[in-house]
């Protein structure tokens, strides 16, 4: 199943870019030890290629920012919210 | 995001949090742990923790009596502590807040003008402490005003050194005073304990663990250690007026927020900042620092160092006050673990092998059987185990599944996942096989290679024909599973398979204990070895005993293609269950 999932799986856990606050709850609660946070920060989907995700959905449940979501195919690829950091630091 | 942006940096190493109940009570009854210390960041969460815990304490106040100065001592005047104090005042509790530094110190330490957000918007804020979006300065003013107008009893500059329980709590502060109370709320956050480099010279006065005001520094040679958002934000704030070098132990910035990543990239391209990747700080001297990069030492002139490599839990303090941390293995836990593992293994073996314990494996000859196979006792044990094992298993999955649904506030997704676990386990792996008395029913849910026999023609079938089960097994494994994976991802484990269902329900409190990191990921790959072995064994079995299906994949490990035996794999699964059961059902 993992092997098949590597080659083809429509279903993925997606991440909204710019929403992750780096709190680490997803990683902490992932029973499969996947580095979800790293992908969430970049806004990349999680169940792709080499992740051993079993689809338990706990990362989505514990995410305090609703950054993670369950989606199919293209849904998970292009989510974006305006960044706020530059404004915060007065940089630009 | 915003208010946490100056906080975490590196990939957070696995931290051991203190064990707490759903009501946030620690292993010391009456001592509650709230806010950032629970592993859940966010101001809103901390405020709710403070409010909820005081409601809980207020309920118990009426039922307990103790001779103490206070009902509750709140340690730490951050978001959680202030919220708890407000709630305590409203409830008429006798309370005091002991704060190491000053009111809302963490927010004080944010860079000037930083915006603070009240995320997540969907979550309600409980209690009466204000929370909204504002710049740091306005935010602080509002909280200070709130504390003033509520006349909260907050003692600043009063670091707590010890907490003992002797009937009631005795809290000692560093100035030698003692305070007594019936409850203690620990709300000290993580910001007081920055990670350290463990390099000589780290204690020099030019080394800082936080950047307060970038405007203080002009024309200095500054080293920023770290590659997380807080380090990069500090470096970016300093590059206009200083010579800034960043030392990072990894080969690239991988964890940055996109905005920070593009800003630092631009600064690097413009030559406004030097970044030394793959480097460690070897020594800090008054006028220079020694970096080690790629086996070489580099000495660079330096006046100021910022080590922004994250914060950690105050583990030493937890231990000092006698709290138990997650994942601690003491003698008692080993005994529980061994007991449950042995018991489960025994039950499993009896259920699995109707011809004797460990009997058909050449490595464990019949002499090892605890009960003589073929004897009446054995037959009875087998008959009982055959029904009760799946019954207990299903009851566990359903009971703990219901507990999960009620206690864990599942999302819609996890709600249906749990329902699916309960339904599949009960119907497919317990009721149907029991009612129809046909082992072939298991093939509905267990596909090859999980069940080796699924792709072989069974000898007999009470329901339908052997041909049907044969074709079903082949179609399920080579068409059904791929389609399922394509449309639903790898959800088989968490939604359907019996062991996965037990893991999702009984294992729920232990998710945090799962091994993390690259090493664990490499181990995960061992599954391909098992898969390859399964393919080989299936082919061998098909060639040699094409008419006799093997009993399980694990036969491989005892060198026989027919007949079952407990293998390392089964031992391992029994062991895993043992951990879960042992920890969950016995007091620790």
Paired tokens of B168: 């009631």
**Residue in B with minimal Cα distance to A3:** B528
Residue B366 token pair: 């019949």
- Binned at pLDDT 50, 70 and 90, residue B398 comes out as very high
Chain-centre distance for alpha carbon A25: 12
What is the distance between the alpha carbons of residues B190 and B310, in angstroms, rounded to a whole number? Answer: 10
Hey, what domains does chain B have and what are their CATH numbers? 31-192+315-320 (3.50.50.60), 194-312 (3.50.50.60), 384-514 (no CATH)
Look up residue B97 and give its DSSP letter. Answer: E
Long-range CB contacts for residues B269-273, cutoff 8 Å, separation at least 24:
B272/B239, B272/B244, B273/B235, B273/B239, B273/B244, B273/B245, B273/B246
Q: Residue B456: its pLDDT value, please?
A: 74
Average pLDDT, chain B: 79
Helix, strand or coil, per DSSP, at residue B368: helix
Residue B122: band (very low, low, confident or very high) from pLDDT cuts 50, 70, 90: low
CB B136 within 8 A of CB B112: yes
Indicate yes or no: CB of A84 within 8 angstroms of CB of B1.
yes
Q: Is the pLDDT of residue B186 over 90?
A: yes
Checking if the pLDDT of B573 tops 70, the result is: no
The share of chain A scoring above pLDDT 70, in percent, equals 63
Compute the distance between CA of residue B137 and CA of residue B140 in angstroms, rounded to an integer. 5
- Whether B509 has its CB under 8 Å from any CB of chain A: the answer is no
Overall average pLDDT of the B542-555 stretch: 55
* Phi/psi of residue B387, nearest 5 degrees: -85, -45
B95: left (phi over 0), alpha (psi -120 to 50) or beta: beta
Interval B348-366 mean pLDDT: 49
Which whole number is the average pLDDT over B163-191?
91
User: How far, in Å, CA of B535 to CA of B101, rounded?
Assistant: 64
Check CB contact under 8 Å for B259 and A20. no
- Is residue B374 over pLDDT 80? no
Query: How many Cβ pairs within 8 Å bridge chains A and B?
Result: 187
The pTM of the full predicted model, rounded to 2 decimals, is 0.67
B-proximal residues of A, 8-67, CB under 8 Å = 8-12, 17-25, 27-33, 35, 37-38, 41-43, 47, 50, 52-58, 60-61, 64-66
Q: At residue B557, does pLDDT exceed 60?
A: no
Contact B361, B560 (CB under 8 A): yes
Listed residue (B106, B163, B111, B118) closest to B311, CA to CA: B106
Count the neighbouring beta carbons within 10 Å of the beta carbon of residue B350: 22
A84 pLDDT band, cuts 50/70/90, is very low
pLDDT of residue B57: 92
pLDDT-derived band at A26 (thresholds 50, 70, 90) equals: confident
* pLDDT for B34: 93
Q: Which chain A residues touch B123 with a CB distance below 8 Å? A: 64
Backbone angles phi, psi at B238, to 5 degrees: -100, -20
Give B171's Cβ-side CA count (13 Å radius): 27
Q: What is the per-residue pLDDT for B383? A: 73
Average pLDDT over residues A16-40: 81
- Cα B217 to its chain centre, rounded Å, is 40
Sheet harboring B243-247: ordered strands across?
Answer: B207-208, B304-307, B221-225, B243-247, B273-276
Question: Confidence class of residue B66 from pLDDT cuts 50, 70 and 90?
Answer: low
Q: Are strands B168-173 and B160-166 parallel, antiparallel or unpaired?
A: antiparallel
Lowest mean pLDDT among B344-348, B357-361, B395-399, B407-411: B357-361
Question: By three-state DSSP, how is residue B268 classified?
Answer: helix
For B105-115, write each residue's pLDDT tens digit: 888 877 777 77
Helical H segments across A1-92, by residue range: 2-7, 25-29, 36-42, 58-62, 85-89
d(CA B281, CA B99): 33
Tens-place pLDDT, residues B128-137: 899 888 888 9
Res. B255: pLDDT tops 50:
yes
CA B88 vs CA B23, B73, B82, B125, B183: distances in Å: 17, 10, 10, 16, 12
Dihedrals φ, ψ of B444, to 5°? -60, -35
Q: What is the pLDDT of residues B501-523, one digit of tens each?
A: 888 888 887 777 777 766 767 77
* Contacting residues of B for A1, CB less than 8 Å apart: 481, 485, 490, 492-493
Which of B361-365, B375-379, B385-389 shows the lowest per-residue confidence on average (mean pLDDT)? B361-365
| Nearest-by-Cβ selection for A1 from B39, B42, B485 | B485
Amino acid B62: pLDDT: 62
pLDDT at B408: 80
Burial class of residue B445 in the structure, from the number of CB atoms within 10 Å of its CB (0-12 exposed, 13-18 middle, 19+ buried): buried
**pLDDT(B571) > 60:** no
Find tokens 């969950």 and name the residue: B584
Residue B259 clears pLDDT 60, i.e. is over it:
yes
Q: What is the pLDDT averaged over residues B22-36? A: 90
Q: Where are the alpha helices (DSSP H) in B452-497?
A: 466-475, 481-488, 492-495
What is the Cα Rg of chain A in Å? 14
Helix (H) or strand (E) holding B165: strand B160-166
pLDDT value, residue B257:
73
The mean-pLDDT minimum among B185-194, B437-446, B458-467, B578-587 falls in: B578-587
pLDDT on residue B141: 94
By C-alpha distance, the chain A residue nearest B135 is A88
Measured CA to CA, the distance from residue A24 to residue B190 in angstroms comes to 14
Give per-residue burial for B218-234: e unless 16+ CB within 10 Å, then b: eeebbbbbbbbbbbbbb
In 3D space, the residue among B420, B357, B349 whose CA is nearest the CA of residue B571 turns out to be B349
How many Å apart are CA A17 and CA A83, to the nearest integer?
A: 8
Q: Which of A29, A42, A56 sits opposite B504 (nearest CB)?
A: A56
pLDDT at A83: 34
Is the confidence at residue A79, as pLDDT, over 80?
A: no
Spatial distance between the Cα atoms of A73 and B9, rounded to a whole number of angstroms: 32
| pLDDT (mean) for B230-255 | 89
Percent of chain B with pLDDT over 90: 29
Q: What is the pLDDT of residue B4?
A: 32
Report the pLDDT value the prediction gives residue B21, as an integer from 0 to 100.
83
CA B214 to each of CA B128, B229, B290, B355: distance values in angstroms, whole numbers, following the listed order = 34, 16, 24, 77
User: How many Å apart are CA B136 and CA B107, to the nearest integer?
Assistant: 7
**The pLDDT of residue B375:** 63
SS (H, E, C) B25-68: ECCCCCEEECHHHHCCCCHHHHHHHHHHHHHHHHHHHCCCCCCC
| pLDDT tens profile B293-311 | 888 899 999 999 999 988 8
CB contact under 8 A, A64 and B492: no
DSSP state of B246: E
In this model, does residue A91 exceed pLDDT 60? no
- Predicted confidence band at B173 (pLDDT cuts at 50, 70, 90)? very high
Q: Confirm if B312 and B195 have CB atoms less than 8 A apart.
A: yes
Are B120 and A66 within 8 A, CB to CB? yes
Give the phi and the psi of residue B293 in degrees, each rounded to 5. -135, 125
């Amino acid at each position: 199943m993992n092997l098949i999932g590597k080659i083809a799986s429509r279903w993925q856990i997606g991440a909204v870019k710019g929403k992750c606050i780096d709190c680490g709850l997803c990683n902490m609660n992932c029973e499969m030890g996947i580095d979800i946070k790293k992908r969430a920060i970049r806004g990349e989907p999680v169940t792709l290629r080499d992740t051993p995700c079993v689809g338990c959905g706990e990362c989505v449940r514990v995410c305090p920012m609703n950054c993670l979501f369950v989606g199919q195919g293209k849904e998970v690829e292009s989510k974006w919210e305006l960044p706020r950091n530059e404004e915060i630091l007065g940089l630009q | 995001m915003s208010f946490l942006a100056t906080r975490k940096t590196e990939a957070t190493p696995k931290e051991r949090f203190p064990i707490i109940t759903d009501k946030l009570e620690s292993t010391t009854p009456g001592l509650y742990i709230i806010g950032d210390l629970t592993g859940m960041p966010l101001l809103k969460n901390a405020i709710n923790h403070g409010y909820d815990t005081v409601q809980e304490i207020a309920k118990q106040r009426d039922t307990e009596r103790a001779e103490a100065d206070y009902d509750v001592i709140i340690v730490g005047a951050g978001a959680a502590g202030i919220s708890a104090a407000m709630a305590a005042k409203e409830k008429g509790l006798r309370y005091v807040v002991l704060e190491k530094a000053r009111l809302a110190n963490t927010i004080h330490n944010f860079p000037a003008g930083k915006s603070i957000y009240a995320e997540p918007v969907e979550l309600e804020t409980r209690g009466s402490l204000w929370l909204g979006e504002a710049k740091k300065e306005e935010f602080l003013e509002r909280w200070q005003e709130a504390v003033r107008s509520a006349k909260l009893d907050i003692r600043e500059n009063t670091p707590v050194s010890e907490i003992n329980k002797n009937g009631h709590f005795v809290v000692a502060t560093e100035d030698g005073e003692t305070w007594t109370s019936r409850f203690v709320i620990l709300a000290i956050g993580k910001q007081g304990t920055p990670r350290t480099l463990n390099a000589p010279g780290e204690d020099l006065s030019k080394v800082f663990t936080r950047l307060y005001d970038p405007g203080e520094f002009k024309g200095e040679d500054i080293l920023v250690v770290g590659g997380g958002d807080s380090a990069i934000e500090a470096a970016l704030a300093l590059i206009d007026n200083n010579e800034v070098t960043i030392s990072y132990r990894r080969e690239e910035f991988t964890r940055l927020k996109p905005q920070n990543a593009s800003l630092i990239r631009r600064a690097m391209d413009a030559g406004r900042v030097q970044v030394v990747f793959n480097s460690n700080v070897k020594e800090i001297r008054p006028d220079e620092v020694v970096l080690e990069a790629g086996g070489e030492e580099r000495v660079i002139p330096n006046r100021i160092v910022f080590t922004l490599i994250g914060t950690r839990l105050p583990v030493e303090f937890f231990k000092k006050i006698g709290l138990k941390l997650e994942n601690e293995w003491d003698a008692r836990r080993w005994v529980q673990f061994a007991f449950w593992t042995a018991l489960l293994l025994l039950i499993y073996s009896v259920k699995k092998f109707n011809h004797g314990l460990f009997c058909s494996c050449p490595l464990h000859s019949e002499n090892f059987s605890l009960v003589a196979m073929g004897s009446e006792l054995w037959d009875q044990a087998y008959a009982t185990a055959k029904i009760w094992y799946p019954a207990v298993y299903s009851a566990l999955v359903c009971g703990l599944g219901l507990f999960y649904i009620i206690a864990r506030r599942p999302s819609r997704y996890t709600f249906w996942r749990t329902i699916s676990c309960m339904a599949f386990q009960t119907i497919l792996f317990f009721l149907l096989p029991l009612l129809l008395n046909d082992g072939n029913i298991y093939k509905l849910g267990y596909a090859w290679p999980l069940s080796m026999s699924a792709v072989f023609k069974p000898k007999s079938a009470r329901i339908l024909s052997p041909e049907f089960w044969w074709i079903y097994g082949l179609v399920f494994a080579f068409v059904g599973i791929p389609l399922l994976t394509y449309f639903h991802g790898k959800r088989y484990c968490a939604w359907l398979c019996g062991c996965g269902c037990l893991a999702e329900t009984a294992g729920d409190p232990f998710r945090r204990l799962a091994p993390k990191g690259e090493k664990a990921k490499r181990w995960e790959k061992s599954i391909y070895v098992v898969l390859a072995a399964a393919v080989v064994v299936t082919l061998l079995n098909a060639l040699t005993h094409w008419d006799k299906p093997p009993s399980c994949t694990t036969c491989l490990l005892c060198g026989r293609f027919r007949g079952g035996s407990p293998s390392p794999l089964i031992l391992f699964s029994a062991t895993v269950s043992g951990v879960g059961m042992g920890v969950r059902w016995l007091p620790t």
